[in-house]
Structure 1
């Protein structure tokens, strides 16, 4: 039985009427209808296609009977998944397209029952409205990318109207007036084509004459009709939303009813692209149409795009409009292919299944060990996919993802074509003859050459060999497969494991499962050697065996460079050893980076320091070292002897890397380094061949990286981790072993850690800072004396006579303590707050627990406290504090002393100051108290408590009095400034300077009051003198103005307005009752300004008089002469007579200007 005999449709006779390409447009030509009928006959309406149809129609019908607007539909899927095909079928089935033989679309396509029921309901509903209508097309196909005009063009065409807006409006107007048939008849009677004549609307004499015949009142002649048409139906570059809605309604309505309408917009995503403006316009147009009451909820928009709406930022704005989504998948494409191209006759299934079952051993060995190898599920689809084997189909998919940069080959239409060609190619062969793996090359090679994926040299070599004898043809096929495999990625994530070895190449080349398999496999190695001899390929030893790579002149040069670098490295093995050491050390550091070591409930981080030296550092007893040794520099026996002979208390961790795979690792590192150096030396080529050569070298580098990594894993699987003394640490990984050993080393190193391991030391610090009493350690649950708490006792013992904070921290954070910093700081603050320790800064200034800055603790000196304070003394201190205004509760005495000192300094500063204030009083007692700290400070306050309160009271009273006198002093300074230039200024200045020199601001009686009062009186007299002079001048000038004849001719309102504009209506009132009034008056208008104001009155009143004169002068009239063109003398004389009459009439009213 031949392969062609097993198909429902013989591939040699079956043809793809549309070449697999579904075009969504309204084309009803004979050829288009034939293609449409073929697409309906082969439409596979199941899977996502059926779900999509059911979802779209069901949603539309549900919303049709409600008040909800119709949500748009978005059909998405990968490039070529059949989006356009589904949309085209929906459009065709919507209107139930009829064909010339009377058969309709719904009777041709094989549809699920649910979809058929929806379509029947759609037709039933259409009888209530204006029938059914559908339009389809792409927005980018017309109207210069204007969305509204493009949409109207699609709808006009679907309604049999011209696509251009102005022409469609003209035809609709003809229909409305009843002129269309007559005008069209006249055009055709003249032997012209109606559509072509419409394109010449504005210049067509035939249409103009026909319109005059239809309605003689339109214009006087043909020329007038043309002008009318151009004015009434102008060409436009855009329309408004309302114009668009009206045009849609006019084009589609039937007897005043709007039909159930579908609008399919194909490739909307491709049209929108990255243009946010286009996305907005699409959203606006669809939203306008869906919400407009003219269409009710009878208008449905369906759009297509590669991505889901949420997948691209520019499409997300459309989500609100297109709420119904249909996503097509790979399985839908496979289903279409199996039903349209590869569907088998039921009578042939048994024989085909027998052949496949018999050859299952051969099929299952293909590409074994790769990610595309045979698996048991393949048996479910093997018969349906025949003659394409599942392993090869997966290999093709991997290749196409990489080489099909344009996405054209991966499209449903092209997959249909490729599979159709594959079925035709194997049709005349016996059953069991399958499509070889290299078949895909012949289908995609021209596209790969055009897009630059393969070089011209490689393309020509394969083509040249394919025209030769049998051996050369096999070589051509091998070259094609080697080229495709060479394009596959080899990085760990994307690597499918397929390599161009003789075994895998043979797996892909087998065509006849029944005969000749072994002979083909035997021929392949010889032909690969022949290709290598002729310089077409190069053989490489890799982890997968002998691989073959495409060789070009350029790649040969790269290969020579690689070999030279290999030779150089083998001649200098020290470089290789250094690289090995770096790799091993990097791995250990990476493992060490995974270890997170912390101690106790306090979670104190403990660092592990790696050491790769031949000897341990001198501070090995103070840190946790990971001492790394390897079998290349020392023996395993020496390593064990060193670890066992070490002090068991030593925290050092011993790690040994065995020297396994010595030569293999050296070779892999040489290959890795040589490939890396080759890439660096050769750089980035500019030719296609050079690019291919670089990619091949990059692949070689990746393979070498993988080999090095594999060998390192084998070596490091034998890593040993010991502790000082020889105890071995066990774990599931190197990091786990290190962590286990480190836990034990941590306990060895910080053996005193448990003493301070408490998470509440931070609270101790907070309480000591805020409360300042002896109860801070209660946060630990400790109620005894602070100096006896174990941590505090250890710190006190270390401090001795005195220690800096840095010394204390360094000692107790290091071995054997390793205490948390919160514990060290909390204990210090608690001891200071309890009066057990005294703290002082770098200037030996005493610090309390509240004033001590934790950030400066390292610079602080701590000493034991020697003075004891009795409770009765604390009561006295508390009484003093409250008496002077510092609120103090029991156990707050020490904490409140800084507030007492601060208050005293504030009062001291306020009690004196710069001249004329007296000097500040003596504050030596306050300074002495501030220098002390702790109990010494309390003792000094107790000793002088009877002096402190009277002293502070006196300072407070003097400060209050000084503040009041300072206010008077500021007033006197202001008066001195304002009196400058007056006769008494010098005398006043002398008195002010005397007060300042004598610092007599607080003298009794006050020297300020009499000076202020006398100065205010003298200033008041001066102001009154200037005001009276101004008033006298004002009255004189006002009387002169009122006596002027011109002024008297103006009405009162006009006179008042003129005076107000010049601030002459009245003089401003002046109040001098208080000190503040006198000062404010001079600040707003000085004595010099009063003199200027008086002097300006004459000019200002004269200005008022001049304005009155100007207002009484007659107004000039401006007359424009009429414009005229003169052809003779008579016309000129007539114009002159008219102008003379006009000017004379105007002159009677006043002056004239022309």
Structure 2
């Protein structure tokens, strides 16, 4: 009796796992806390952050970087919950993490010390909070910070002048009284009334006059006066933050956790410098009591652009302010996927251990990429085999490279290179769910990763695959697998999609007949090439985008005038290959002119000597004694 893959996993592989963590999503906080995996590398990053946080010197900025789906947002969210030690479903965040760190006493001690400092976390995705603020506004970034700070204080963040009106009343101890007076006058709560401030002038004036003891007529346009007088500046913002912190008590901290800030500022030098200035001003005014922790794509240079040197310089200055760096890499993601999704039962570990022992001698060659391709990780011992199965280890790095390069070529819907509906964890889960009912012993092929990002890809990018699925799925389904694999690695320059390497990508069984597999792939490649879905360049095959496919089809359909072809061949032959017009006799030093011939056709004047070059278009090429790739010269006697 065969054993299904789903039975060897410690947790149901099809259980709900939110592949993309959102800063403003509080529906599954407990699950996110419970399932967060602290890898060895993340543990080291946390130690660096906590050391700076607990022993403040000069830096108050933390920069979390990583590629698409690497877990930046998840880490940021966990830090926000931990620093505030927020209670989630009856348990404190620190208590949940304490169970994860029983074998790391130093890290646990540092975290306990950080949590003991009273603090408030303001966690937000900057693009979401900036929905009504234009990036072209020079104060766009500051406006977002001011907005979330006002909201955290309980004020109306959408309109800064109303927030300032509330703050002034609060400072005078009159805000609660004003709210009661307004509710009595307007028969609605102030929280609703302030959203309709333009229509509520009379009720606002009545309530304000009652609280301050003034004349309602004089207060008729009180919010209009605030609108005219309210100005936003970075220094004023820092002063307000400091004043609020002081009200909370000694040593209190206010920490801003900002998701996806790198993409938001990348295209605007002013926004870059504003971020730096905000962090510096908070540091100057608050002396380590206000921190700015942000996430960004790992390859900021790719987002900024190679030609924008001045922006790169500004970005370098920003990085100087964010002294604590927390980069996340593919090793972190692989460990998270293995521990959170692919952990095995004891019986499963034994079964896979036996499978490893049986296949151990073949593993080194089965997943070895050749033909000058990048060196990717292979199975490394029994433990690694059990933890990674059914995914060959090369897939973690190669898939990361694939989605990063696709992002750089604008393949995903949405803004910048981080946008997509799937993280790597989500994609690997989709593949595992698809294989759940297959017998133990099979392997995940690389083309299956395509389904995990399909919904995040622009329709134009995947149109070729969609058409191919409709037209040739029934004819050659394996060719579709090859096509999807080639799509994923299209822009990965370090990977060479030769027949051998494609065979590795599509290896579904350890005991696959390699000769039969190679023949099957060659037939699929030939079929795809005939249908102008891929192109061949030497031994390498490449997926064709819509634009490239159109060009390739036009090239194939183009009728070339023989005279134009002859003229181009003549230029290539006698202006590039044989540029000299005379032959020099070395013994005597005499030079002799020669007739130039191409495929037996005379070009120019005739001389006693002649050189005849045979091109691939010549009739002589078809004769068995002529090598088409050789240069052939005929000298008359």
Could you tell me the TM-score, scaled by structure 2's length? 0.73
Q: Which residues in structure 2 correspond to 1:602-613 (within 5 Å)?
A: 613=583
* Distance apart, 1:97 and its partner CA: 0.9
1:459 partnered with 2:466: yes
1:305 partnered with 2:305: no
* Distance apart, 1:435 and its partner CA: 1.6
What are the superposed Cα offsets for residues 828-876 of structure 1, whole Å, 9 maximum, x if unpaired? xxxxxxxxxxxxxxxxxxxxxxxxxxxxxxxxxxxxxxxxxxxxxxxxx
Does the CA-based 8 Å contact 1:449-1:459 persist in structure 2? no
Does the CA-based 8 Å contact 2:262-2:297 persist in structure 1? yes
Does the CA-based 8 Å contact 2:155-2:166 persist in structure 1? yes
* Distance apart, 1:95 and its partner CA: 0.5
Does the CA-based 8 Å contact 2:70-2:423 persist in structure 1? no
1:355 partnered with 2:358: no
Instruction: State which of 159, 162, 172 in structure 1 corresponds to 2:156.
Output: 162
In structure 2, what is the equivalent of residue 321 of structure 1?
321
Higher share of residues assigned helix: 1
* Distance apart, 1:352 and its partner CA: 1.3
Instruction: State which of 572, 586, 595 in structure 2 corresponds to 1:616.
Output: 586
* Distance apart, 1:313 and its partner CA: 1.0
* Distance apart, 1:564 and its partner CA: 9.7
* Distance apart, 1:356 and its partner CA: 3.7
Q: Distance in 2 between matches of 1:285 and 1:365?
A: 53
In structure 2, what is the equivalent of residue 103 of structure 1?
91
In structure 1, what is the equivalent of residue 51 of structure 2?
58
Q: Distance in 1 between matches of 2:442 and 2:296?
A: 39
In structure 2, what is the equivalent of residue 227 of structure 1?
221
In structure 1, what is the equivalent of residue 17 of structure 2?
16
SS at match of 2:264: helix
* Distance apart, 1:444 and its partner CA: 3.8
Q: Distance in 1 between matches of 2:439 and 2:74?
A: 35
Does the CA-based 8 Å contact 2:369-2:376 persist in structure 1? yes
Q: Distance in 2 between matches of 1:227 and 1:374?
A: 68
1:181 partnered with 2:176: yes
Q: Distance in 2 between matches of 1:21 and 1:457?
A: 27
* Distance apart, 1:528 and its partner CA: 3.3
In structure 2, what is the equivalent of residue 136 of structure 1?
123
Structure 1 pair 346–446 and aligned structure 2 pair: CA distance change class (3 A): same
Higher relative contact order (CA 8 A, sep 6+): 2
Aligned length: 561
In structure 2, what is the equivalent of residue 429 of structure 1?
438
Which runs of no fewer than 5 residues in structure 2 stay unpaired?
A: 302-310, 591-612, 618-627, 632-637
* Distance apart, 1:264 and its partner CA: 2.3
What root-mean-square deviation, in Å, do the aligned CA atoms of Structure 1 and Structure 2 show? 4.5
* Distance apart, 1:349 and its partner CA: 1.3
In structure 2, what is the equivalent of residue 555 of structure 1?
552
What are the superposed Cα offsets for residues 727-786 of structure 1, whole Å, 9 maximum, x if unpaired? xxxxxxxxxxxxxxxxxxxxxxxxxxxxxxxxxxxxxxxxxxxxxxxxxxxxxxxxxxxx
In structure 2, what is the equivalent of residue 77 of structure 1?
66
Q: Distance in 2 between matches of 1:341 and 1:60?
A: 32
* Distance apart, 1:330 and its partner CA: 2.5
Larger Cα-atom Rg: 1
Q: Distance in 2 between matches of 1:397 and 1:256?
A: 46
1:119 partnered with 2:119: no
Does the CA-based 8 Å contact 1:133-1:261 persist in structure 2? yes
Q: Distance in 1 between matches of 2:543 and 2:223?
A: 72
Q: Distance in 1 between matches of 2:105 and 2:239?
A: 38
Q: Distance in 2 between matches of 1:427 and 1:236?
A: 64
What are the superposed Cα offsets for residues 292-324 of structure 1, whole Å, 9 maximum, x if unpaired? 2xx343222223333589992121232443223
What are the superposed Cα offsets for residues 375-395 of structure 1, whole Å, 9 maximum, x if unpaired? 765446433222222345555
In structure 1, what is the equivalent of residue 253 of structure 2?
260
Instruction: State which of 59, 71, 82 in structure 2 corresponds to 1:93.
Output: 82
Q: Which residues in structure 2 correspond to 1:981-1130 (within 5 Å)?
A: none
What are the superposed Cα offsets for residues 412-436 of structure 1, whole Å, 9 maximum, x if unpaired? 9521211110111111111112222
Does the CA-based 8 Å contact 2:67-2:299 persist in structure 1? no
- Name whichever of 474-483 and 307-316 sits farther off: 307-316
Which runs of no fewer than 5 residues in structure 1 stay unpaired?
A: 586-609, 621-664, 672-706, 713-1154
In structure 2, what is the equivalent of residue 286 of structure 1?
279
SS at match of 1:239: coil
Structure 1 pair 238–82 and aligned structure 2 pair: CA distance change class (3 A): farther
In structure 1, what is the equivalent of residue 506 of structure 2?
509
Could you tell me the TM-score, scaled by structure 1's length? 0.43
* Distance apart, 1:237 and its partner CA: 6.5
Q: Distance in 2 between matches of 1:375 and 1:57?
A: 32
SS at match of 2:42: helix
* Distance apart, 1:3 and its partner CA: 1.2
Instruction: State which of 195, 198, 220 in structure 2 corresponds to 1:199.
Output: 195
* Distance apart, 1:616 and its partner CA: 1.9
* Distance apart, 1:540 and its partner CA: 6.7
Q: Distance in 2 between matches of 1:299 and 1:498?
A: 50
What are the superposed Cα offsets for residues 958-988 of structure 1, whole Å, 9 maximum, x if unpaired? xxxxxxxxxxxxxxxxxxxxxxxxxxxxxxx
In structure 2, what is the equivalent of residue 5 of structure 1?
7
